[in-house]
A and B are shown apart, each in its own frame.
Chain A
Amino acid sequence: MTALLQVTGLEAAYGRARVLFGVDAEVEAGSLLCVMGRNGVGKTTLLNAIMGVLPPTGGRVIFDGEDVTRLPTHERVRRGMGYVPQGHETFPQLTVAENLQVTLDATKHRDRSAIDAALDVFPRLEEFLGRRAGFLSGGQQQQLAIARALVTRPRLLILDEPTEGIQPSIVAEIEAAIERLHQEDGLAVLLVEQYLELALRLADAFVIIEGGVVRRAGGAEDLHDDEVKRLLAV
């Protein structure tokens, strides 16, 4: 069986500074892959390269059997790769409703129920629909960011440290939402996370990145290794 997302030998660079030196990773349909590693090892760069936000300099990205390495970002989104970038990104001057609507308009399906479904995941957003996204708290903005990605009806949800810098009360909600989407709806997830606890609870598989390459990969049971703890220790 082929994986939903297959990344082989992916290389990326910012100008002349190379960051990724051939990363391999796979996400099976309906599974959750956790990408871990310390700060500055290239986790975010890997996601940006997978999404084409930063065009890769080498290697291949295959989604659902199709080579998407050279496709523009919006085409990858339309094929079912949903991305929530780091740092609760929104369109700050658009209202919450407009944030979701502009995303829906850009999808192929244009099915309004996608917005309702996204709001079901984060019901708290309903009361803020008319408010500008820039005036929400960081945690609410992150909920909107994930809801926005869900509106694209992804088959793979890619999240970059979704709970980083978010107030604790909302962290639990976001984690529960990811867990539900993955376990109940069977959504495949590629999650970048620095903390072991969440990974231990959710991950089906993991890769640990260091210095732009994969240092360790395995299934959930291998996460208890001392080697893993050493690679993640600050």
Chain B
Amino acid sequence: MESLLNQLPVGLSIGAVLLLIALGLTFTFGQMGVINMAHGEFIMAGAYTAYMLQDWFHGQAVIVALPVAFVVAGTLGWILERAAIRHFYGRPLDTLLLTWGVSLVLQQAARDLFGAPNVQVTAPSWLSGRVELLGGNLPYARLFIMGLATACVVGIWAYMNRSRQGRRMRAVMQNRELAAVSGVATGRVDQLTFFIGSGLAGVAGVALTLIGPVGPSLGTYYIVDAFLVVVAGGLGQLRGAVIAALALGMLNSYGEFWTDASLAKVIVFVVIVGFLQVRPQGLFVLRSRALT
């Protein structure tokens, strides 16, 4: 019973990281229809940013890295959009291949820069403790990740619903052509969306340094699950992404606990495929008379 309870923070924090990754994907996928396979490498870039910053900030590198990784990964995403992806809009398969290639290049670049073996980022000492709760253990690091994801979701929600830029983003997401004939520079909105989405992946990468080692292929472990979150949650839907990410995190963590890692993956896939048979549109959809 005790160890069963201990899986809870594991599942929730994995779910929280998945959520950060999926938030970015759901915007780029939802708004621009781009399947960005290189999104995982922005996670990796974020994690290595924390690793690099250790030289200057030692124990506190993770905290400093949060905003820095957002900008680093965001800039990488922005460059990718400007240099490559925008020439392939409306061609999802080509985009998929292109970004997959970019992802391999970025992984190799990381191997050349940092070496193939995994590296460690030292967590701040004040995150190393744990709190006893209902007979279970709740490590501060996992608690921190959950708090971080919550803050990011609240921030994104406020940005989307309370700011001019966010309103513009929603308009482009809902009706790109109409946004253009309303005077919105849709290309600019796309750039900003890509920056924010990729930046969030970078933040997720920093969070991951708190629960495991950093390697060149860090992103590949999470990218497929993140896409599952996006599809199951419904495109461009904040609510859906939150629920799907937490559900997937729990499913992963308890699946691994009761069986083993590979069987857990099988269970996850079976559940998602089954769910999509019942609700192909995901948990939530943009619904209105205009679309029926």
B175 neighbours in A (Cβ, 8 Å): 89-92
Contact B174 A91 (CB under 8 A): yes
If A135-B288, A135-B289 touch, whether A102 touches B181 (CB-CB below 8 Å) is no
Q: Is B290 an interface residue (CB 8 A)?
A: yes
By a beta-carbon cutoff of 8 Å, the part of chain B in contact with chain A is 164, 167-168, 170-171, 174-175, 177-187, 286-291
Check B168–A92 contact: CB distance below 8 A.
no
Known A85-B181, A92-B291, A102-B171; 11 more pairs at CB < 8 Å: A53-B181, A72-B180, A74-B185, A77-B182, A91-B178, A92-B288, A105-B167, A106-B179, A106-B182, A141-B290, A148-B182
Identify A78's interface contact among B183, B286, B288, CB under 8 A: B183
Does A173 sit within 8 A of B, measured CB to CB?
no
| A141 contacts across to B, CB distance below 8 A | 289-290
Cβ of A89: which chain B residues have Cβ within 8 Å of it? 175, 177-178, 290
Are A152 and B182 CB-contacts (below 8 A) given A92-B288, A102-B171, A132-B288? yes
Measured between alpha carbons, how far is A220 from B181 in the docked complex, in Å? Answer: 29
- Chain A residues with a Cβ closer than 8 Å to the other chain, count: 34
- A103 closest partner in B (C-beta): B182
* Nearest chain B CB to A92 CB, angstrom units: 4
- The reply to whether B183 and A106 form a contact with Cβ atoms under 8 Å apart is yes
- Interchain CB contact under 8 A, A92 and B286: yes
Knowing A93-B288, A133-B290, A135-B288, the reply to whether A74 touches B167 (Cβ < 8 A) is: no
Pairwise interchain contact A94-B174, C-beta atoms closer than 8 A: yes
Q: A53 CA to B184 CA in the complex, in Å?
A: 13
**In the assembled complex, A73 has its CB within 8 A of some CB on chain B:** yes
Number of A-B contacts (CB under 8 A): 95
The distance from the CB of B191 to the nearest CB of chain A, in whole angstroms, is 14
Residue positions of A touching B, CB distance < 8 A: 51, 53, 72-74, 77-78, 83, 85, 88-94, 98, 101-103, 105-107, 132-138, 141, 148-149, 152
| Complexed CA–CA distance, A93 and B288 (Å) | 7
* Known pairs A102-B168, A105-B168, A106-B184; A85 contacts B178 (CB<8 A): yes
* Top 8 A-B residue pairs of the complex, sorted by shortest distance between their CB atoms: A134-B288, A106-B183, A92-B288, A77-B183, A73-B180, A92-B290, A103-B182, A83-B181
**Contact B171 A51, beta carbon cutoff 8 Å:** no
B290 to chain A: closest CB distance in Å? 4
Rounded to whole angstroms, the CA-CA distance of A90 and B177 in the bound complex is 10
A90-B181 in contact (CB<8A): no
Q: Which residues of B contact A94 (CB under 8 A)?
A: 167, 170-171, 174
Q: How far is the CA of A152 from the CA of B182 in the complex (A)?
A: 7
In the bound complex, what is the Cα–Cα distance between A132 and B170 (angstroms)? 13
CA–CA, A103 to B175, complex, Å?
A: 13
Which residues of chain B are within 8 angstroms of A74 by Cβ–Cβ distance? 180-186
Interface centre among B164, B180, B182 (most CB of A within 10 A): B182
A89 to B179, CA, bound (A): 10
Q: How far is the CA of A101 from the CA of B164 in the complex (A)?
A: 9
**22 sample A-B contacts, Cβ–Cβ < 8 Å, listed by A number:** A73-B180, A74-B180, A74-B184, A77-B182, A85-B181, A89-B177, A91-B170, A91-B171, A91-B174, A91-B179, A92-B286, A93-B288, A94-B167, A94-B171, A102-B167, A102-B182, A105-B164, A105-B167, A106-B182, A106-B183, A133-B288, A134-B289
B185 touches A152 (CB 8 A): no
| Partner pick for A92 among B174, B177, B184, CB 8 A cutoff | B174
CB distance from A49 to the nearest CB of B (A): 13
**A93 near B286 (CB under 8 angstroms)?**
yes
In the assembled complex, which residues on chain A have CB atoms less than 8 Å from the CB atom of B174?
Answer: 91-94
Q: What is the distance, in angstroms, from A82's C-beta to the closest C-beta of chain B?
A: 8
Closest residue on chain A to residue B290 by CB atoms: A92
Inter-chain contacts of B183 with A (CB < 8 A): 74, 77-78, 103, 106-107, 152
- What is the CA–CA distance of A91 and B291 in the complex, to the nearest angstrom? 11
Nearest A residue (CB) for B180: A73
Report yes or no: A51 in contact with B286, Cβ–Cβ below 8 A. Answer: no
Most buried by A among B174, B184, B290: B290
A136 contacts which chain B residues (CB < 8 A)?
289
CA distance A91 to B171 in the complex (A): 6
